[in-house]
Amino acid sequence: MKISWAIFFILTFTSSVLKVCAQVNLVPDPNFQNINTPVPPNVVTYNSLTNWFNPNNGTPDLYYYSCQIVPCYSYYIGLWLTQKSQRENIREYAGIKLTKKLNINKKYFISYFTTRFDNENLKESTSSNSLLFSSDSIRISGFGFPIYRQSQINNNLSVFLDSSNEGWIQNQLTYWYKIQSVYTPDSGNYQFMYVGNFLSDSVTPLKCLDTIGNNCKGDTYYLFRDFNVIEFTPIENYALNDTAVCIGQSISLSNEQSQSGHTYSWYTKDGFLSSNLNLLVKPLQTTKYYLYTTDSVNNICDCNPPVLDSVTVTVINYDVAGVNAITQERSLCSGDTVQFGIVERSGYSYQWQPSNYLSSDTVAQPFVQVPWYLENNILTYNVTITNTQNQSCTLNNDLAFKIVVNFCPDSLEPQIYIPNVFTPNGDGENDVFKLITQNIKDLKAEVYNRWGIRVNSFSGVNGNWQGKTIAGDSAPTGIYYVIITAEGMDKKTYHYSGYVHLY
């Protein structure tokens, strides 16, 4: 298990109450509140901001909408991410100097809100809105020249914000996407943060939203607000270690106890799954699961960094052979020999448990030779499959292989198995001498000592000798001979003999 950063998109309702977070946010003006000019209803311009600056002489726009309680105002900035209709590769950015440099040995919770400005003149959407951290204050002469650098926080799920899932309503922005990431800096000198599109137009992902005439101009305009860069120490071990399961198996993603006052959220790259910490999943393919957990008591402002953990569940596929593919079960007659198991794959290894009656316990498809005296029995075998990455899963419980041994009187001759040892010492194990029969209707057995003296006898297929003499005394230890006369199911008479060692 390892802490890794991932981006999640959560449709969030915009609150009208300004909340203050207890953690130290390294963005000195996350909501564009530090303004040198009068507050609304006067016009607020981007240049009136105290902390934010324009790195490439574009013309970013600063908007506001008022809360229900005057004079509560909320601000957001608008940036052209592409604008081909005016000039090829035009860009707008917003930059700010953090209150201190990022520490290469620390982790940071990064978050911001974004939405696409939605009106009839903007027909395209892009998934390329990113954060760039830099050690230098970028200043480009000229108007709207693009900044081509490798950004660190990206919309790497290629989510296009369009009118089907977001929009802009005058004075009431109700549809925002919250982008969250846990970031470990690759340099200890980063102190500047920039927001915008850092890709050239030729590689910027675009989506045309005009379903009627496909009248797209390559213009994408996005709004941004609520930037957070917060140092935190993640708590590990909420999720399982990375593990593997056989396809068809379920697994709980955590074995930890949920804590009072905490919230839990499981995600995959496709979105939210559950708020249950011990989520039971049955993946059909290898999947990475991400866990957010926050203290719901102290996190009422929705800005505290969450604990982020993850677990990758590798799914090992297999195909069965020689059994029912659904039940993994095979029926046969006692005394038969059959082959069953897994379709072998190159580089995979197999280990069967138990190894009883198997020709080998390390091959994909062993033979099982069922003794004739195991009638009306079920043999259960588990197999551990190890793939080429040394990841293993075990087919057991409902996925275990079952060999159902049936009594098939028409397929076998009468048989009697004579056990060669028993210990009538009263310990509850192997205390009586009993014959194991197949296709035998009735029998009589006589027991003789080494001098040919008959010491006892018993009758019937369920009869037994308890190690006593005819007089009821315990027979001495030693070897005894057994003479058997039996009637088969075919009404023929059969004779058997053998010996047993009494301890």
> What values do phi and psi take at 486, rounded to 5?
-135, 150
DSSP 307: E
Q: In this structure, are strands 401-406 and 329-333 parallel, antiparallel, or unpaired? A: parallel
C-alpha neighbours within 13 Å on the C-beta side of residue 314: 16
Flag whether pLDDT at 285 surpasses 90: yes
Dist CA 410 CA 405 (whole Å): 15
Cis (ω within 30 of 0) for the bond into 41?
yes
Domain spans, the chain: 1-233, 243-295+304-316, 320-406, 415-502
Single-letter amino acid code for the residue at 67: C
**Lowest-confidence pick of 149-153, 157-161, 369-373:** 157-161
Per the CB < 8 A criterion, the answer to whether 291 and 272 are in contact is no
**Lowest-confidence pick of 108-117, 432-441, 456-465:** 108-117
* CB within 8 Å of 429: residues ≥ 6 apart: 423
Residue environment code for 308-322, b if the CB has 16+ CB neighbours within 10 A, otherwise e: bbbbbbbbbebebeb
Flag whether pLDDT at 245 surpasses 90: yes
Say what the pLDDT of residue 17 is: 30
Residue range 333-354, pLDDT digits in tens? 877 888 999 999 999 999 999 9
Count of all residues that appear for the chain in the document: 503
**Lowest-confidence pick of 112-126, 255-269, 470-484:** 112-126
Flag whether pLDDT at 177 surpasses 90: no
Residue range 434-445, pLDDT digits in tens? 998 878 889 999
Q: Please choose, from the candidates 138, 338, 108, the residue with its C-alpha nearest in 3D space to the C-alpha of residue 233.
A: 108
**Lowest-confidence pick of 304-308, 320-324, 378-382:** 304-308
Residue listed under structure tokens 């033979």:
367
Residue listed under structure tokens 């395209």:
124
Per the CB < 8 A criterion, the answer to whether 134 and 236 are in contact is no
Q: Residue 313: helix, strand or coil by DSSP?
A: strand
Which CATH number is 243-295+304-316's, of 3.30.70.2390, 2.60.40.10, 3.20.20.10, 3.30.1390.10? 2.60.40.10
Q: Residue 244: helix, strand or coil by DSSP?
A: strand
Q: Please choose, from the candidates 113, 100, 95, 87, the residue with its C-alpha nearest in 3D space to the C-alpha of residue 53.
A: 95
Per CATH, the architecture of 415-502 is what? Sandwich (2.60)
Say what the pLDDT of residue 437 is: 86
Residue range 1-54, pLDDT digits in tens? 333 333 333 333 222 233 334 468 899 999 888 887 666 655 567 777 889 999
The token pair that represents 178 in the structure block: 């919250």
- pLDDT: is 264 or 66 the higher one? 264
Dist CA 106 CA 108 (whole Å): 7
* CB within 8 Å of 390: residues ≥ 6 apart: none
DSSP 155: -
Domains 1-233 and 320-406 share a fold: no
**Lowest-confidence pick of 42-46, 59-63, 239-243, 471-475:** 42-46
Dist CA 227 CA 138 (whole Å): 19
Per the CB < 8 A criterion, the answer to whether 7 and 157 are in contact is yes
Flag whether pLDDT at 212 surpasses 80: no
Compute the mean pLDDT over every residue in the chain, rounded to the nearest whole number.
81
Q: What share of the chain is helix, strand, coil (3-state, %, to 5)?
A: 0, 40, 55
Dist CA 225 CA 29 (whole Å): 10
Residue environment code for 220-259, b if the CB has 16+ CB neighbours within 10 A, otherwise e: bbbbbbbbbbbbbeeeeebbbeebbbbeebebebbebeee
Q: Please choose, from the candidates 166, 153, 158, 75, the residue with its C-alpha nearest in 3D space to the C-alpha of residue 116.
A: 166
The alpha carbon of 447 is separated from its chain's Cα centroid by a whole number of angstroms, namely 64
Say what the pLDDT of residue 127 is: 79
Say what the pLDDT of residue 436 is: 87
| Overall fold of domain 1-233 | Jelly Rolls (2.60.120)
Per the CB < 8 A criterion, the answer to whether 19 and 64 are in contact is no
Say what the pLDDT of residue 409 is: 64
Say what the pLDDT of residue 411 is: 57
- pLDDT: is 421 or 304 the higher one? 421
CATH class of the domain comprising 320-406: mainly beta
Dist CA 445 CA 457 (whole Å): 6
* Residue 117 pLDDT class (50, 70, 90 cuts): confident
Q: Which residues pair with 66 in a beta bridge?
A: 73
Dist CA 436 CA 454 (whole Å): 22
Say what the pLDDT of residue 270 is: 79
Cis (ω within 30 of 0) for the bond into 424?
no
Dist CA 366 CA 353 (whole Å): 12
Say what the pLDDT of residue 252 is: 93
